[in-house]
Amino acid sequence: MDTQLISPNADPDDVVITIRIIVIGDPGIGKEQLLDSFVRLMADIPSLQQVPEGTHSNENIVFRTVPFYVEDEKGNTKHVKLEILNLDAFRSSHKEFYESANVCIVCFDVDNRETFSAVETGWALDTKFFCRTASVLLVGLKGFVEKSEENVQESVSEKEGIQMAQKTQSFHYLECQNEERLIKEVFVVSTKEGLRAPQKDSNEKCLLL
């Protein structure tokens, strides 16, 4: 899959489209490492320094902003600003913020079957309730956290991941190892999916402070 992010001919003064992404899943599976790796990759690209990456807070919710260029399904270059929120749990008090999300990335640890089971029994149900209009991408993380030999389990196969995506009505399944190409792919696929849906009014439910 093409993970090209930058167009050398992109106009830095074009319209910036905001895509909100929520990254969810059990704690300690590598979600924060995934996000930190993506932010570092984008910080090394000169074209993206027009809009600085940062951390913003709204109603005690802290989220990261990451700008880049990406081609949509028609081949048009889009200047995108991602607002990414990493969660270990949903809170009813922040329901309106969740409802403004374009995409939810539901994560599990490929080498931890308990976190895989939690997708169907917990995270998929919570996502349908709190992020009713968001598209869902299922991602199996591998190699983002160290494990002792005694904690090694039989890995979740790609076939099982695809079947879980179908069960939970996710639009796609990706397995992401701690590699630059695969990390980019997660966010490019998420962004392109977010661009397909009608854009939500960023001022209606969420204001950056």
Distance, in Å, from the CA atom of 73 to the CA atom of 184, rounded to the nearest integer, reads: 17
For residues 149-170, b (16+ Cβ closer than 10 Å) or e, as one string? Answer: eeeeeebbeeeebeebbeebeb
How confident is the model over 80-95, as pLDDT tens digits? 889 998 888 887 767 7
For residue 109, give the 3-state DSSP assignment: strand
- Of 103, 83, 95, give the one whose Cα is nearest residue 130: 95
Helix, strand, or coil here: 90? coil
- Give 168-179 pLDDT, tens digit per residue: 999 999 999 999
β-strand pairing of 61-71 with 54-58: antiparallel
pLDDT confidence of 16, banded at 50, 70, 90?
confident
- Closest residue by Cα to residue 130 from 104, 157, 156: 104
Greater confidence (176 vs 79) lies with: 176
Which amino acid appears at position 70 of this protein? V
Decide the pairing of beta strands 16-24 and 103-109: parallel
Band the pLDDT of 203: cuts 50, 70, 90.
Answer: very low
SS3 of residue 128 by DSSP: helix
Count of CB atoms situated within 10 Å of the CB of 18: 20
Q: What is the pLDDT of residues 140-186, one digit of tens each?
A: 999 998 876 666 678 999 999 999 999 999 999 999 999 999 999 99
146 and 123 in contact (C-beta within 8 Å)? no
pLDDT in tens, 24-64: 999 999 999 999 999 888 876 544 333 334 444 455 556 78
- Distance from first CA to last CA of the chain, Å, rounded? 36
Predicted local distance difference test score (pLDDT) of residue 29: 95
